[in-house]
Structure 1
Amino acid sequence: MDASAAVRIKGLTHRYPEQKRDEQALADVDLTVRPGIITGLAGPDGAGKTTLMRVMAGLLKATKGEIEVVGLDPVRQADALHLRVGYMPQKFGLYEDLTVMENLVLYADLRGVGAEERKAQFERLLDFTDLHRFTKRLAGKLSGGMKQKLGLACTLIGTPELLLLDEPGVGVDPISRRDLWRMVQSLAQGGMAVVWATAYLDEAELCDDLCLMNEGRVIFSGAPREQKERMQGRCIQVRDIAGNRRHFLRHALGSPSVVDGVIQGESVRLVLKEGLSEPDPGVLEGEPTARVVTVEPRLEDAFIDLVGGGPDGHSVLADTMPLVDLPSGVDPQAVIRAHELTRTFGDFTATDHVTFDVKKGEIFGLLGPNGAGKSTTFRMMCGLLTPTSGDAEVMGIDFKRSASEARQKLGYMAQKFSLYGNLSVERNLIFFSGIYGLKGRAQADKVAQMMDSFDLTRYRRTNAGELPLGFKQRLSLACALMHEPPLIFLDEPTSGVDPVTRREFWVHINALVDKGVTVMVTTHFMDEAEYCDRIALIYRGRMIAAGPPDQLKKAVASEDLPDPTFEDAFIGLIQRDDQAREVAEKDKAA
């Protein structure tokens, strides 16, 4: 093993007591973490990333294998290790009822940092994270991105030699994620060893070294570019599709020549089987105008290929759902409607005169940075928050006048897991189906149907709180769909979920849309935003842009950026609004 490494692991294996004899959380893992670079741990939910992190942090003793962290044995020398390693878990232990400064003081006390030294460290960390302005703000009142910055600052108190970050980008908007990434890169460039665990493959692509995991095993170790190079020539984009692009994607995923596929605005991106540079002729059947263009591979393409490909595009769930038939008098062009929607909290305006309509059978995305007002807007649209002024309607029903009737028309999946963690999967399904009025044989059939559609049967008697994250999301969606609603509201439904599970999720959503179901969704995945038919971008409480994804990308295209990604569009439109605001303020002052 490399003597200069910050972490040296060989043959590491771990099995939890509740696991079956043939199951392992970690299986014969080898890993070397070097100082001065970012090492990525990537893989789906349940791959073993968090278990490996906890072993490195000295919080868990592995069943067998060799491990040395910053020259120490994590079990026998745990106290010394904790002073030299910074660990930021998925659910970071910020005290939400303490201010930013009080959290910093608490962590300095825990790490034994003296008064003079902590003063200098606080100043440096507040500068580093740009939190100087918020030292008196309660941690619970911070945006998602600011909470992660504060979490990072607390982790860095004491200047650790090794920084362990377990999915720090979950639930964070693209701008905050870029800020966070720049901060961590600067730490690595300063000589710190960094391990960044993530289910986001675009994050993993930025790492210097990468350890790809699946089912407790390392399936690849090396530079991310090695996997991308392996996929050269196999990634294509099908453009100028004349028909329904969701139907085209479903058809393409059924072809033996296609390993994976996703919607990209008006186009469809496909990954082809090894050895192929073009799809089977049957994929383009009935699409005389379609063009095939070879595109650069992404790490996500390689990962999906490594684990055997994505889902086949068929939704068992949608097979059981009826076609949506709108009641007479409901305008199919405005089954969801916001008109001059406004919400204030004291003298702060969270949502400022937002207006939009959503058509039947459309996927409509609400996007925006953390703290921009999109969640407030979303909560008003599904009746969880009363507008200060303006109207929120679904199926022609105004929430102000008939909130209970309006809620019966929609299925709601919350951003945070909101089911009953101490009830089994089956009991949660029974409870929520009962709320929606299902009884007797109809209820039993629907519960069985949902467990089969979402592969939940094996977890029938498992408490919901103990499920892996991907299965928690499946159960949440199943509960939201028990009453076969014509409208679905999804608040960051795939946050923290791996690429394969995300694809399975969207196979169901796309198939439901074909049945006439209308979907409103918030997301921080910019590639996922491209699945939407139209998007409204919310910033500083206002709707600053709206339209199809490709239209928004064209709005920021330039000579320097002729083919922008949707993340480029997201950041570019926000920067443009900031610049327009600065000009307006200068003109006003003049």
Structure 2
Amino acid sequence: MSAGDLSVIASKLCKTFHRDTGETVEALADVSLDVRKGALTALVGPDGAGKTTLLRLACGLIAPDSGSLQVIGFDIAAEPQHVQDRIGYMPQKFGLYEDLSVQENLDLYADLHGVTQSKRDETYPRLFEMTQLGRFKERPAGKLSGGMKQKLGLACTLVRAPELLLLDEPTVGVDPLSRRELWEIVFKLVKEDGLSVIVATSYLDEAERCEHAVLMHAGRILDQGAPADITKKADGCCFMVPTPKDMPARSLQARLFALPGIIDAVPEAGRVRIVRKADQKDTPLLVDDTELDAESVAPRFEDAFMMLFDAVAGDAERRTHISRPSDNHNSAETVVEVHDLVRKFGDFTAVDQVSFSVRKGEVYGLLGPNGAGKSTTFRMLCGLLPASGGTLMVAGSDLRRAGAKARERLGYVAQKFSLYGQLSVDENLEFFASAYGLRGKQRKDRIAALKNQFELDQFSRLPSGQLPGGFKQRLALAAALLHEPDILFLDEATSGADPLARRQFWGRITVLSEQGVTIIVTTHFMEEAEYCDRIIILDAGKNLAEGTPVEIRAHAGTRGEAAATMEEAFIAIVEQERNKQAEKAA
């Protein structure tokens, strides 16, 4: 392929950053890649892989320490302005002006880029059609849902018709329905306009749909090529394992994931999908001295990614595998009971007569599109927001009357790292132990036990903001468990974590649930809903469906011979209800 066919040519790129502590972080190490014009290319990997650094280099926002980088025919180091005038870049936190309307945000970015009125008259109608924001022109950006904000950010990036579009994690924090809509726009731009697009993503299913994928970890490229070619590397190593009677799929997953020779294990439709090391794929699969059946299945892109990831990070990480789950299963005791829950904000009803219950030791998923009311429901369950109506019993207390008493028995892990980044691991744990009322020997013993359980001793004096991503997650969970809560709330707790860290995190949650801790979780990773005993799906403040993962999947039927994925089921349930409401309104 000639240089004229390429939009980006990178050769031996290196970039390091220096922290205030004097530590040097190698963000990119000897990175080389070619990106074809008119194609959709994915940079895939966890937080810290180097994806954002590579995009910022391509924009000319930072300079490489060594190596060369050509973007749309220009040397980015010598002519950054020529590149910036011809590309569109949508960072993770795109700069929308929340007090300005949708139309005013578009006009502002058009003004900044010198877009003429005639060009606007030509471009705006198509942008409004693609993003479906035409009927919201006068709405302030701050009042849009998360998915709509992302679509507006994309529209603002496209006002000058760039030759190359760079998207940095455009779907993080976006629900599956909005994710699909965003990708439909991107596919349309590539197919109809011949636009070159590079998208950084931690969603492996998104990378699988691109023409070219670049797999990154710790500043290095693990592999690159067509997703189908990468997927073939997992041929013959993927299996589906039935779950023994009376054992939740997540319990089997936790046991399997900790075994030598297992690269990956995830619950799926009541069973567990595993990836085995190639040299051990034919050995008997033993759990608790019992040999399990394993049915060979076709590989997926994610399976191949985990094999490549395991080759560079797996062995070190697996020395810290989870403790073995206990054999205590869910009791019949109800610890959360919600009847006709209502929350209004003025004339707007965010939660409309929602009812459900959660048993002790159960993992319960609260799912829904952006703006569905799930976050509002979640905040009411945590005692952070009062209900407007209905009954809300949590841990034996009526939250509408005795919220403080109930909150003493709750733990909470937020989506974003919410501890004090300047304080060390020990200082954070000491602070939160004091806040929970732990004193003397009880506090000392509890901190020591959690540091040991989550293997945080090695980082005792390190500022928590400098912890590796997976250990930040461990510290947040340890802090939430200091007072031994009966109920643990997880709000998008694995957002941004690498796949291995997510598996380990859920292994720890499995241990807690089997010890009798009740877990209530929100997530936009639909595969994580498979770890739940039951799920409720909300939209427009109403309960659309409730059931086990297998029951929820049944709503979407099958795709030929294959069962619907959890994401397909989620989208089908939401769209069916929205279509019903549209028919009633008509």
TM over 0.5, shorter chain: yes
Matching residue of 1:381: 381
SS class of match (1:105): helix
1:169 aligns to what?
A: 171
Residue 54 of structure 2 corresponds to 52
The question of whether the paired residues in 1 share the 8 Å contact of 2:14 and 2:64 is answered with yes
Question: What amino acid is aligned across from residue 225 of structure 2 in structure 1?
Answer: G
Q: Distance in 1 between matches of 2:543 and 2:405?
A: 28
The amino acid across from 2:271 in the alignment is S
Structure 2 match to 1:80: 82
1:351 CA displacement: 0.8
Q: Does 1:93 align with 2:100?
A: no
2:63 is aligned, of 45, 61, 65, to 61
Using the TM superposition, name which of 15-24 and 200-209 deviates more. Answer: 15-24
Q: Return the alpha-carbon distance in structure 2 between the equivalents of residues 157 and 40 of structure 1.
A: 23
Q: What is the aligned partner in structure 1 of residue 15 from structure 2? A: 14
Instruction: Name the counterpart of 2:230.
Output: 227
CA positional deviation for 1:243 = 4.0
**Distance in 2 (alpha carbons) for counterparts of 1:21 and 1:384:** 39
**Does the CA-based 8 Å contact 1:317-1:453 persist in structure 2?**
no
Deviation at 1:452, TM superposition (A): 4.5
Partners of 2:37 and 2:79 in 1: CA distance: 21
Structure 2 equivalent of residue 371 of structure 1:
371
Aligned-partner SS, 1:400: coil
Aligned to 2:322: 315
Compute the displacement of 1:214 (Å): 1.0
User: Which of residues 80, 88, 108 is equivalent to 2:110?
Assistant: 108
What are the equivalent positions in structure 2 for 1:76-475 lying under 5 Å apart? 76-189=78-191, 190-244=193-247, 245-278=249-282, 280-283=284-287, 285-286=289-290, 291-308=293-310, 309=314, 311=318, 314-315=321-322, 332-457=332-457, 459-465=459-465, 467=467, 469-475=469-475
Structure 1 residues 1-10 or 34-43, which shifts more?
1-10
Structure 1 residue 5 corresponds to structure 2 residue 6: yes
Shift of 1:126: 1.7
**Contact 1:311 1:503 (C-alpha < 8 Å) held by counterparts:** no
Runs of 5+ consecutive residues of structure 2 not aligned to the other structure: none
Give 3-state SS (helix, strand or coil) of 1:500's partner. Answer: helix
> 1:437 & 1:483 partners in 2: Cα distance?
8
1:84–1:160 CA contact under 8 A, matched in 2: yes
- 303-312 or 147-156, which moves further after superposition? 303-312
Q: Quickly say closer, same or farther: Cα 1:457–1:14, change in 2 above 3 A.
A: farther
**Offset at residue 584 of structure 1 (A):** 3.9
Map of 2:526 onto structure 1: 526
Query: Once structures 1 and 2 are overlaid, which stretch shifts more, 357-366 or 93-102?
Result: 93-102
Q: Distance in 2 between matches of 1:4 and 1:281?
A: 49
Following superposition, the deviation at residue 57 of structure 1 comes to 1.0
Gaps of 5+ in 1: none
Give the SS at the match of 1:68.
Answer: strand
Q: Which aligned pairs between 1:566-581 and structure 2 lie closer than 5 A? A: 566-581=566-581
Tell me if structure 2 keeps the 8 A contact 1:38–1:208: yes
2:552 pairs with 1:552:
yes
Taking the aligned partners of 1:441 and 1:171, their CA distance within structure 2 comes to 41
User: Which sits farther off after the overlay, 509-518 or 290-299?
Assistant: 290-299
Distance 2:505 2:243 in 1: 26
Contact 2:14-2:27 at 8 Å conserved across structures: yes
Q: Helix, strand or coil: the match of 1:512?
A: helix
Change (3 A) 1:387 1:311: farther
SS in structure 2 at match of 1:405: helix
CA 366–125 in structure 1, closer or farther in 2 if over 3 Å, else same: same
CA distance in 2, matches of 1:62, 1:247: 46
* 8 Å CA contact 1:361, 1:516 repeated in 2: yes
For 1:317 and 1:457, the matched residues in 2 are separated by: 21
Deviations 1:277-301 (A, max 9, x none): 45524248547xx653222222221
Alpha-carbon displacement from aligned partner over 1:495-533 (angstroms, at most 9, x marks no partner)? 222211111211111111111111000111111111100
Which amino acid is 2:197 matched to?
V
Q: Contact 1:350 / 1:376 at 8 angstroms: preserved in 2?
A: yes
261-270 or 204-213, larger mean C-alpha shift: 261-270
Q: CA deviation at 1:78?
A: 2.1
Q: CA deviation at 1:228?
A: 1.3
**Structure 1 residues 74, 458: CA separation in 2 closer, same or farther (over 3 Å shift)?**
farther
Distance 1:459 1:165, change over 3 A: farther
Q: Relative to 1, partners in 2 of residues 1:311 and 1:570: Cα closer, same or farther, differing over 3 Å? A: farther
**Is contact 2:254-2:325 (8 Å) kept?**
no
Task: Using the TM superposition, give the Cα deviation of residue 20 of structure 1 relative to its aligned residue in structure 2, in angstroms.
Answer: 7.3
Q: Deviations over 1:402-444 (max 9, x none)?
A: 1111111110122334333444443332221211012344434
CA contact (8 A) 2:254 2:510 kept: no
Tell me, in whole angstroms, the C-alpha distance in 2 between the residues paired with 1:466 and 1:250: 28
Change (3 A) 1:9 1:122: same
User: What is the distance in 2 between the residues matched to 1:337 and 1:512?
Assistant: 21
Percent identity, please. Answer: 47
Distance 2:48 2:12 in 1: 19
- Residue by residue over 1:347-397, the C-alpha shift from the partner in whole angstroms, topping out at 9 and shown as x without a partner, is 221111111110111100011111111111111111111111001221110
> SS at the partner of 1:401?
coil
Distance 1:422 1:150, change over 3 A: farther
Query: Retained in 2: the 8 A contact 1:374–1:538?
Result: yes
Give CA-to-partner distance per residue, 1:547-589, whole Å, 9 cap, x none: 0000111232157465111111111112222233344445xxx
> C-alpha displacement at 1:268, in angstroms?
1.1
**Shift in Å at residue 11 of structure 1?**
0.5
The change in CA–CA distance for 1:117 and 1:306 in structure 2 (over 3 A counts) is: same
Worse-superposed segment, 253-262 or 542-551? 253-262
SS at match of 1:242: coil
The residue identity in structure 2 corresponding to 1:11 is: K
Question: Deviation string for 1:217-275 (max 9, x for gaps)?
Answer: 11101111112111122111112521423443333234333222112242111111114
Letter in structure 2 aligned against 1:214:
H
* Contact 1:44-1:500 at 8 Å conserved across structures: no
Distance apart, 1:23 and its partner CA? 5.0
Counterpart of 1:42 in structure 2: which amino acid?
A: V
Q: TM-score, normalised by structure 2?
A: 0.92
Per the alignment, do residues 56 and 145 of structure 1 end up closer, same or farther by CA in structure 2, a change over 3 Å counting? same
- From the superposition, tell whether residues 423 and 275 of structure 1 become closer, same or farther in structure 2 (CA, over 3 Å): closer
Paired residues of 2:43 and 2:215 also in contact (CA < 8 A): yes
Change (3 A) 1:254 1:475: closer
Measure the CA separation in 2 of the matches of 1:99 and 1:459.
46
- Cα distance in 1 between the residues matched to 2:488 and 2:388: 24
